[in-house]
Amino acid sequence: MSKVINIESVKDTTLYKELEKRNNADTKAFVGNILTLCDEASDRAKQIPKFFSEYTLHDKTHFIRVTELMAYVLGNSLKELNDIEIGLLILSAFYHDQGMLIDENEYKSLDENEGYLLFRDNWIIDHANYSEIRKQFESSFISTEERERLSSIIRELDAAMLTDFLRESHGQRSHDYVLSTFTSERILSVAGSNISNHLAKICLSHVKSAEWISGANGLNYDENIGAYKVNAIFLSIVLRLADILDFDSDRTPDVLFKSIHFTSPVSISEWQKHRDVNGWEISNELIRFTMYFEHPVYEKTAHVFLDWIDSELNHCHALLRKFPASVSSYKIEVAEKVDRSRLGPKGNSYLYHDLEFTPSRPRLSRCLCNRDADVLSLP
């Protein structure tokens, strides 16, 4: 997707151009401040790769792509939004992932963080290949070359583990960062009101379920900001869809982590090469990504990711259908399901069959009971 969205500045995005074109006197200062705020978010995100050298994370490129993808999600509905709504969308694209940053002191003290230690123990249990690779790495019977290869895989999995830990909490961390940084700052004020609380809640919403997005959690259809009304629920929907449609970001589905074994050619770093989308279309009629792979695990990984997108599309469209008549003009212009017809092997390099073994619990229980009975009956 990065090959298609070649935008280097927020000034060149469809949303910001719309704001500039309007040139409203009462929001002019706010529109100007957006550029400064986006630059600050981008500069801060530059620190993230320090701890995640194995693969690209949430950075300026991702922020700009999300901003532009918002225009695809909105379609003609963009013109129906007021200046504050468009401004909040742009800022949410740049601030929703700020919680992924971990500073050096926090990073060094992770071994003293009870929450992280519990998460790490559970993650290792759930990813049996991690222990498998560790055991092989610690063997005294492997070559130097093999040890170096295993070390590289362990680094990938360690980075994946830490990323998963931060991902679980980054929505709340982003929310808290926005509030602690901007609650008292005039730079995030418009129409006489500081909007940091609204921005923080929209950022938090993108990691919550679609059902969570409601007045009960501080997000409303008709937030009053000065003389403007802001539909924070709709903005939250647009953010989560634009974010997940950025297929070319860092997200690597769990199926790939679990597929990495010391005998496997599968790796997260290789997935980075294969996740590049050769072509894509996002419209009211069709959402389709064109991707061809050299290994079936990468195709499986893509299908898992597209399953996630389908789920989000389904939930967001359902939420929109429940909008009251007073805000029925707020619409998105994207299909409800991803077309899978352009995913497949590169050059007929493999035959893909999505087979998954799931043991029947009743049968497994009977087998275990019979096994124990056989053991007990041994002389």
| pLDDT over 80 (residue 38) | yes
Q: What is the mean pLDDT of residues 249-268?
A: 68
Q: What is the pLDDT of residue 379?
A: 36
Q: What is the mean pLDDT of residues 25-45?
A: 94
Give the separation between CA 219 and CA 314, rounded to whole angstroms.
Answer: 20
Q: Which two tokens stand for residue 325?
A: 């008549």
Share above pLDDT 90 across residues of the chain, in percent, rounded to a whole number: 58
Q: What is the pLDDT of residue 58?
A: 61
In terms of pLDDT, which residue wins out, 325 or 255? 325
Q: What is the pLDDT of residue 2?
A: 42
Cβ–Cβ < 8 Å for 1, 282: no
| Coil, strand or helix at 88 | helix
Q: Residue 193 — very low, low, confident or very high, per pLDDT cuts 50/70/90?
A: very high
Query: What is the CB neighbour count within 10 angstroms for residue 19?
Result: 21
Q: Residue 301 — very low, low, confident or very high, per pLDDT cuts 50/70/90?
A: confident
| pLDDT over 90 (residue 360) | no
Give the separation between CA 25 and CA 278, rounded to whole angstroms.
Answer: 42
Q: What is the mean pLDDT of residues 368-374?
A: 43
Q: What is the pLDDT of residue 373?
A: 39
Q: Residue 240 — very low, low, confident or very high, per pLDDT cuts 50/70/90?
A: very high
Q: What is the pLDDT of residue 80?
A: 94
Q: What is the mean pLDDT of residues 204-210?
A: 95
| pLDDT over 70 (residue 249) | no
Q: Residue 78 — very low, low, confident or very high, per pLDDT cuts 50/70/90?
A: very high
In terms of pLDDT, which residue wins out, 84 or 152? 84
Q: What is the pLDDT of residue 375?
A: 37
Measured in degrees and rounded to the nearest 5, phi and psi for residue 225 equal -125, 105
| pLDDT over 50 (residue 31) | yes
Give the separation between CA 41 and CA 44, rounded to whole angstroms.
Answer: 5
Mean pLDDT of the chain: 86
